[in-house]
Amino acid sequence: MIQRILRKVELFLAAILVVAIAGHFMAGKVIAGVPERLDAIQSSVNNVQSTADSIETKTDDLQNTANSIETKTDNLQNTANSTQGTVNGIDIKANRIESKVDDLQNTVNDVQSTVNDIETKVDEVENKLDHSSRLAIVKTRFTTLPSSTTVHNIDGAGALPFLKIKRYTLTIHPSLLGSVPSGTDTIELRVGVLDDTTAFDVIVFSQDTAAISGGTTVPPYTGTNSFIRIVRGDDGLGSVDVRVNAYVELEP
């Protein structure tokens, strides 16, 4: 646009110059000062032309700068579009990961629920065991002598707690004592009735050894501090071992 204006100015000044020269020759005389003015006009035109060229150059530079900015803007837009695509991809992957995390959390919850159920069952079993009877097996033997009384404690042989009530089932084998004449040797089985920390003896079984020559099993009885008492007469047998197996249930 500026170039066009300058071009018109240049043509206008050139036209004035032509008219002035033509008038000079037609009049047949030299107009004083006209050449100098024409030189000044030409100089002004040259200056205007130079300014126009400078403006055009700067305009071109501005256009190049604008084109460069536009290119960089396009590059930035492309980068933004690419980044947005990457972000969208990350969002999709994040959503998938979150979904898997939720699945894992559900699995963990299920496992925890199962563990809780198992722990509850274990607690129930332990509670039942805590409140159930404890079993003890006592296998013992002891030596008896003629014309003497021998006492053998079942609780002591099995290291059973004195203050716990127990349920005893005993099998006794008198060995050779079962072969002596009736009325010579006697076997007794006693148990204590617990009152606080004191036990009062009760005879639960008493038998002539001749009547149990092959041994015997005593029905279950309850108490604490149970013991066997054997009273031997002059049976002429010397020392004889008596064997006992006891099946004992203890209170919780």
Facing residues of 194 across strands? 199
Residue 131 is given by DSSP the state H
DSSP one-letter string for 179-215? GSPTTS-EEEEEEEEEETTEEEEEEEEEEEGGGGTT-
Give the model's pLDDT for residue 6.
Answer: 61
Q: What is the pLDDT of residues 207-226, one digit of tens each?
A: 999 999 999 999 999 999 99
Q: Are 187 and 211 in contact (CB under 8 A)?
A: no
Q: Are 58 and 26 in contact (CB under 8 A)?
A: no
Q: What is the pLDDT of residues 7-20, one digit of tens each?
A: 665 676 666 655 55
The average confidence (pLDDT) of the chain is 84
CA dihedral 39, 40, 44, 47 (to 10 degrees): 70
Cα separations (Å) of 91 from 94, 98, 200, 203, 234? 5, 10, 84, 87, 104
Q: Are 206 and 186 in contact (CB under 8 A)?
A: yes
Looking at 14-18, 67-71, 112-116, 221-225, which range is the least confident one?
14-18
* CB contact set of 75 (below 8 Å; sequence gap of 6+): none
